Amino acid sequence: MTQHHAVVIVGGGPTGLVLAAELALARVDVAIVERRSTQELDSARAGGLHARTLEVLDQRGVVERFVALGQKMQIQSFGGPLDIADVHRWRKIDQPSISADGQWVAYTLTPVTEGDNRLCLWAAQTGQTTTFERGAEPKFSYDGHFLVFKIKPALDTLKAQRRRKVKDEDLSKDSLAVFELATGALQKFPKVRSYALPEKWSGFVAYQLEPEKPAKPKKDSSAVQTTDSLKIATAPAEKTGEKTEPKKEDAKENGSRLVLRDLRSGREDTVPFVREYRFAKRGPALLLASTGRDSTFLAGVYRFDCSTGSRLQPLSRSDKGKFAQLALDEWGRQAAFLADTDTSKARIRPWQLCYWSEKQDTARAIAGPASPFLAASAGRPAPWNIG
């Protein structure tokens, strides 16, 4: 037999029953469909009635029946109304990190408005928490022996410098901190732009320094000078007429120094003018791209074998070349990157995709603008490019 109703409610739970009751009071033809034959439940999902629900029940004059059958729970009191000053004291947990052995947990407490971070380090064995003011970006070495993180400049210091209109390059910079978990020894390295730790192996940290400001040139002692007493001018030294090339400086387009540090021994190797770098995920290898220093160290992509500590292995080099978008396989045995070694002033740069494996001495180009699969075709009316 077919029955017709204006509204059909599926489910006879609290929400469905209250809705049906409200519709019935409004003289709406309503029906409830429920698969259970009784109101008995194996397990109740409802945890209680909140204040707003009690207000709705009170509007229908049935709230006392529910309160009498239920159990009243105490609510949390804040000891008075909240003020805007309370919000400034709130902090949120951010940047969580857990050591591979699960014995250490690091996280930052970040103000919800503004202020300085606090880095917290919790030891599972002792339950103690060590804090580092203005610590950020924590990472554990894979062997669980070191915690590496940045130390940010104080916010008040940066604000004061900006009020004095200090140039961006002269503002206070981040520092890098290396904390040995077993001994509590802390080492700091100033003016660090970025850092990286291997994900699935340990022993090294790589960090890139902020561009170094060039030293102010010293006064030429051979220039014309006068003495205070006699005011007698001395002749300048003769010029040779040779042109001296300007010394290359750290800059965004040139890159800056990259330091590879052995966490155990403290040995450091520095590579100049690095623009990009990355560790292999599982194998002890570091890949970097440098804009080069001079004829003794050309621009190129270099690989460092951290297991042997051998010298940088050049995968591709060019005096005026540009290199970008480095990629390594998980074990560091294969690499790929983009290279532009063309010396022309073409507006659209002829980037090439280069590939290297440990079976090769140097990388080779496997794709470029002239590659057949990038040429125009019926499906691709315009030729594609690499970049």
List the domain range (segments joined by +) for residue 109. 87-190
Q: Is 94 a member of any domain?
A: yes
Q: Is 137 a member of any domain?
A: yes
Q: Is 173 a member of any domain?
A: yes
Q: Is 195 a member of any domain?
A: no
| 59 lies in the same domain as 141 | no
| 258 lies in the same domain as 352 | yes
Looking at residue 218, its pLDDT comes to 64
| 273 lies in the same domain as 345 | yes
CB atoms within 10 A of CB 362: 13
Report H helices in the chain: 14-25, 51-59, 63-69, 84-89, 155-163
Q: Give 83: exposed, middle or buried? Use CB within 10 Å, 0-12, 13-18, 19+.
A: exposed
Q: Is 218 a member of any domain?
A: no
| 346 lies in the same domain as 206 | yes
Q: Is 108 a member of any domain?
A: yes
Residue 133's domain is classified under what CATH number? 2.120.10.30
3-state secondary structure of 100: coil
Residue 269's domain is classified under what CATH number? 2.130.10.10
Looking at residue 226, its pLDDT comes to 40
| 51 lies in the same domain as 107 | no
Q: Which amino acid, 255?
A: G
Q: Is 114 a member of any domain?
A: yes
Question: CA angle 173-178-180, nearest 5°?
Answer: 160
| 301 lies in the same domain as 381 | yes
Per-position pLDDT tens, the chain of length 387: 578 889 999 988 878 888 898 899 889 999 999 888 777 777 666 667 777 888 888 888 888 888 888 877 766 666 667 777 777 788 999 999 999 999 999 999 999 888 999 999 999 999 999 999 999 999 999 999 999 999 999 999 999 999 999 999 999 999 999 999 999 999 999 999 999 999 999 999 999 999 987 766 666 555 444 444 334 344 454 555 555 566 778 788 899 999 999 999 999 999 999 999 999 999 999 999 999 998 899 999 999 999 987 789 999 999 889 999 999 999 999 999 999 999 888 888 899 999 999 999 999 999 988 888 776 665 555 566 777
| 137 lies in the same domain as 266 | no
Tokens at residue 31, please?
């029906």
Question: CA angle 41-47-48, nearest 5°?
Answer: 110
- Of 69, 97, 115, the domain-final residue: 69
| 286 lies in the same domain as 150 | no
| 164 lies in the same domain as 53 | no
Tokens at residue 61, please?
């004059």
Number of compact structural domains in the chain: 3
| 285 lies in the same domain as 383 | yes
| 33 lies in the same domain as 94 | no
Looking at residue 229, its pLDDT comes to 38
- DSSP string of 216-256? PPPPPTTS----TTT-PPPPPPPP-----PPPP--BTTTBE
Looking at residue 338, its pLDDT comes to 96
Q: Which amino acid, 134?
A: R
| 257 lies in the same domain as 320 | yes
- Of 19, 41, 69, the domain-final residue: 69
Q: Say if residues 138 and 95 touch (Cβ distance below 8 Å).
A: yes
Q: Is 227 a member of any domain?
A: no
